[in-house]
Structure 1
């Protein structure tokens, strides 16, 4: 069981944030938007990429506040807001979560970046300095969809602030395992909730190009 006695907790808008760290590091060059307001949202959507390399610089409280405000302003069915969001910045907790994944992964095969878990220094959240965990209300049939809407607000608002993100689906079932219940208790996830998605968050150390999109999957019916 993870020992977290004595760990300082900070409360923000109903979220529990754990000790912040900071480190100055050169950031990659960011794309600066100089168009009109009416095109800004479209530019933001088309510019966002999944980031899998981060600098060590921590995300400021001000930017976290903005991103979380955008998250909770996402639409939800009947305005139930069936999510619980935790922003983890404490290195010890991040290290423990990564250890839990590595322990589960031994002898297994994964797709995508998780397939490299045997490499030295591997991090399931790409060594991002912040990790967002979103849990959903298991009794709400619309919760997973609503979480997806909140997640998209997080991804887009982070990109608008010059930050990088990456949704992390592989980590979801591991955090929901009974043997990792102590992690969810540490994060103050209420009973009746389960982890629905995780998101790495930090300053990008790469500028990936957009992968192919399949326009033929869209049909206009008139």
Structure 2
């Protein structure tokens, strides 16, 4: 398999309403209501514009990410924010190599379509790696992930967690990608997130309130 040969890059730590889109709302009430509104209106975005996310926006999102609670404050994550087009193209190709001949689920099932992008053509990809020796790392990373999703939404940016890319990046033949991203030994990719300006405003899928039981 082709190995990645890239150098000289730097890793820097209004929508139309269609029938299948939710109306865009802007809340101007109390801080409490704004926080709740942010959680209830955030959606996974699978269509993005070409506009790049700014350094200021990334700084805000990353500060939110690392301020997430973690067991014993171990902070068992390493986060990489990738905007280099060559690296993004290579990661996408590695996923296509992994997916070839397989039956994928969700949006990844469209990998045979021309111009497919596992991160939905978002201009920024976030890779979160976790400490394999830490038993709570997955839970801790999940909390940090939610901070990323909500802080991005608060900045009117779109995000989409990318579970299908995790297995591909953790393959032995893609170890050079992790080295390129300076992922430490003993870490593996836990989750990836597409980030950019949304080009859609999807409605919320059905939620199942019966899954919640109150016991008194």
Shared fold, TM over 0.5: yes
Hey, what's the Cα distance between the residues in 1 that align with 2:38 and 2:151?
A: 9
Q: CA RMSD in A?
A: 1.0
**Match of residue 4, structure 2, among 2, 7, 15:** 2
The count of residues paired between Structure 1 and Structure 2 equals 207
The answer for unaligned runs of 5 or more in structure 2 is 17-23
1:160-188 Cα shifts (integer Å, max 9, x gaps): 00000000000001000000000000000
The answer for unaligned runs of 5 or more in structure 1 is 13-26
1:28: Cα distance to partner? 2.4
1:179-214 Cα shifts (integer Å, max 9, x gaps): 000000000000000000000000000000000000
1:31: Cα distance to partner? 3.2
Partner of 1:145: 139
Hey, what's the Cα distance between the residues in 2 that align with 1:88 and 1:9?
A: 9
Partner of 2:21: none
Q: 1:45 to 1:123 in 2, by over 3 A?
A: same
Partner of 1:177: 171
Aligned pair 1:128/2:122, yes or no?
yes
Hey, what's the Cα distance between the residues in 2 that align with 1:11 and 1:104?
A: 28
**Match of residue 216, structure 1, among 198, 210, 215:** 210
Hey, what's the Cα distance between the residues in 2 that align with 1:66 and 1:93?
A: 23
Q: 1:197 to 1:73 in 2, by over 3 A?
A: same
Are the counterparts in 1 of residues 11 and 82 from structure 2 also a CA contact under 8 Å? no
Q: Which has the higher contact order (CA 8 A, sep 6+)?
A: 2
Show structure 1 runs of 4+ deviating over 3 A. Answer: none
Moved more, 104-113 or 48-57: 104-113
Hey, what's the Cα distance between the residues in 2 that align with 1:185 and 1:9?
A: 14
Q: What is the 5 A alignment of 1:186-205?
A: 186-205=180-199
